[in-house]
Structure 1
């Protein structure tokens, strides 16, 4: 049992007052520059353009700040230090006019365009790294165009949603997502944040804010990291209604990746078609993407797959000390060998 907190209400008041005085910093800790636009995203470059290219495909659900949260907990910075020129496809909020964007628009359009742009500019195939839902998007691209990438990395990607401990899949069962988006249009980021918080209410509620008082005497950098995390958790973008419905229906209701039933504009997505090397990582106590959901990729791809399970929860895979000391050095060594 954890020892009782020694923080007082005065500590909480002091830390809230300090938080209000801290100016909102740039979303990027690591310097970047936009290099091109696709239909629904901006491609940002981090690092030396002379290094081998690595393209990050992030989820449509949250903003990618979690990958660059602070100087000592930045996935982007680790990859740059590992000798890669990192690119991030930053999705544009869809707006009401783009409620009909589907998964094919993002995968066959934006991701394919970004991969082709990088291959042309670097005269080399890029490594592809997909995060959470972005891992599924990256897998779909790799299955449809495996010859266009050098390697594929997935971090907490939901592949097999048929396990009994997949709480998101359980929530999705019985929901008519097409009817939902027909009535709402786009899905709000605030609404999704509420759903995710409900899956772990104590850890993301009283426990988390009880810990906030402990930052009363911490430096501004620690408090700013906490506030950046808050913005990441509760200030997510809206999702295009059609893409949301397709993803929820195909991945969480039909388990389409495992059953080979997913198709994009009539093109069948088959994980066995991925013959490029794959690095597949997951968190062993992830409440959003349980280990069984991610581990299933190993037996489905057509090429070699390196597995990496990390103790801890979902967020620890990106900002945890163990991840930055163990996972990312292992990933960088693997990438260098491919």
Structure 2
């Protein structure tokens, strides 16, 4: 009986996956060297405050727009923001030598500049996970001083703790040798690595209820399949940028120590003068509390920290996050002038 239910769930999931559409429609409005700037559509014609999302290089940004009920993007649009996303293009072997400076001082700076020119206002910037480190580093450079505000979601800022599992893993790897052998870093390999850090929750426990989906509505199955694609369909990463991030952020803890180097330009967090909203999850196995918290001691501008019960994914898709975190964030953003 259970086997029949699982087969039915998989059959329905395949049908729904073929018919799946984007939750929130968007159009490409500009190109940077290594990314595409997307603008999410909204019905309102009234002036809206520009907001730029900087996502991680590791995954695709679908987790921010997973379903109509649990969409960070849709919430921000509803609250009156002109939401844009800088979506990274897979590098290809010809761009294996792209470094962090190319993304931060090049693509992010270009996207922010385009928004300033077209809207006539400095945008809010929201960085997610690794994208939070990129956005924070940009705000700490001279060209980032015009940022209206900075929001960080689960950003690994201080990786110096011995209990940081990703940092422990990184310290045991020769990343120069790794990228020398692979060139770019395969996204599927990284997905398997992240799953291995929490094998039960992302393995048997996650699929134990698959049979129940046979009787679920289409929306529940669609959400499940979107999550599957997000977890295991990650893009390849430019080898040099991957190695630099792993070495400087995780092996050397360079961002927290004021030693992060972008093509000879030192990233000093005390240069961050814009208001910052820093959110993290209390039970995050990828970005633990000690890695994400305490930013107010390192920057010059005002900082609000928001700690949410739950794990890494819950920060983006849980009912609690959409009832507590994102209303608090949108209220805070509206108070920034």
1:147 corresponding residue in structure 2: 145
Q: Which runs of 5+ in 1 are unaligned?
A: 1-6
Corresponding residue of 2:129: 132
Counterpart of 1:282 in structure 2 is 280
C-alpha distance in structure 2 between counterparts of 1:26 and 1:14, whole Å: 18
Q: TM-score, normalised by structure 1?
A: 0.96
Contact 1:146 1:276 in 2 (8 A): no
Give the match for residue 71 of structure 1.
68
Which residue in 2 is equivalent to 1:231? 229
Report what 1:103 is aligned to: 100
Kindly state the Cα deviation for residue 10 of structure 1 after the two structures are TM-superposed. 2.6
Q: Give the CA deviation at 1:216.
A: 1.5
1:17, distance to aligned residue in structure 2 (A): 1.7
Q: Determine the C-alpha separation between the residues in 2 that align with 1:233 and 1:324.
A: 21
Distance 1:166 1:27 in 2: 37
In structure 1, what is the equivalent of residue 263 of structure 2?
265
- Cα RMSD over matched residues? 1.2
1:176-199 deviation per Cα after TM superposition (whole angstroms, max 9, x unaligned): 101110111000001000100000
The answer to whether the 8 A contact 1:51-1:83 is kept is: yes
Are 1:254 and 2:252 matched, yes or no?
Answer: yes
Matched, 1:17 2:11: yes
**Aligned match for 1:30, one of 24, 32, 38:** 24
TM-score by length of 2: 0.96
Q: CA deviation at 1:244?
A: 0.2
1:26 Cα offset (Å):
5.1
Unaligned runs of at least 5 residues, structure 2 = none
SS, match of residue 85 in structure 1: strand
2:160 is paired with a residue whose SS is coil
- Secondary structure in 1 matching 2:294: helix
Q: 118, 123, 128: which is aligned to 1:121?
A: 118
Q: Which residue of 1 aligns with 2:181?
A: 183
In structure 1, the residue matched to 2:242 is 244
CA contact (8 A) 2:282 2:308 kept: yes
Matched, 1:91 2:83: no
After alignment, is 216-225 or 129-138 more displaced?
216-225
Q: Distance in 2 between matches of 1:23 and 1:313?
A: 26
Q: Which residue of 2 aligns with 1:164?
A: 162
Q: 1:256 Cα deviation (Å)? A: 0.3
CA deviation vs aligned residue, 1:279-333 (integer Å, no higher than 9, x gap): 0000000000001100032211111100000000000000000000100000000
